[in-house]
Copies of this chain bind each other. A is one copy, B any other.
């Protein structure tokens, strides 16, 4: 059987330890091409580069022999460039991550990791975003490797429903502490924003965004609940944002 062609990308940039781990796992399963941002892109959401030029660099293969490209673009740009400029063959799967930091709940909207997966989904490529709830560059990915392998294998075996990609989040736990994998819905949450106001050396005020995550959801079927209770969360994510349930109500308006 022909090995699947797997596109690996992320939003922390090509130098992040998380993408090296994902690259190695993907390489055990299929033929891998990496197309990742040349610098960190956290919080980029679904940004694309429309008012600026884009660059692609092929970087020299390392000992693992995997073809690696960097682009000056966002995660969504990377997928667009991979699909339309770099890779001529059919891409069988796109995996994004492993993100240094969680992307559960409302974070899916801000996440560059997930925007890459969603962009692949729009292009009709089955796609998964992986994130570990540990911001450290020295995060330990060892405990989650077998789970990533299993999830990728199941996606290859079953495919994904049309218009759906997966948002996979791992708790920061040892392998024997992880209770299993749960299919979840996105928890209702928001940030209680705080802006940290400072002064530049020249006396000018500036701010840092410093919000605190606030879960507004008591459900036990959410990604936040799963992670807090020792499970890996898998949320099927769609990019049809229509609130279908609201259409009927709006049709009663005087418009």
Contact = CB atoms under 8 A, between A and B. Distances in A.
Given A45-B115, A85-B195, A110-B48, A151 B237 contact: no
B154 A55 contact: no
A56 B236 contact: no
Contacts of A244: 185
Interface residues of A, number: 80
Contacts of A190: 122-124
A4 interface: no
A44 interface: yes
Given A43-B51, A47-B47, A85 B207 contact: yes
A54 B198 CA distance: 10
Contact of A49 (B43, B48, B115): B43
Assembly stoichiometry (copies): 2
Nearest to A53: B206
Nearest to A240: B186
Interface in A117-158: 118, 122-124, 150-151, 154, 158
A16 interface: no
A71 to B, nearest CB: 9
Contact of A54 (B109, B208, B245): B208
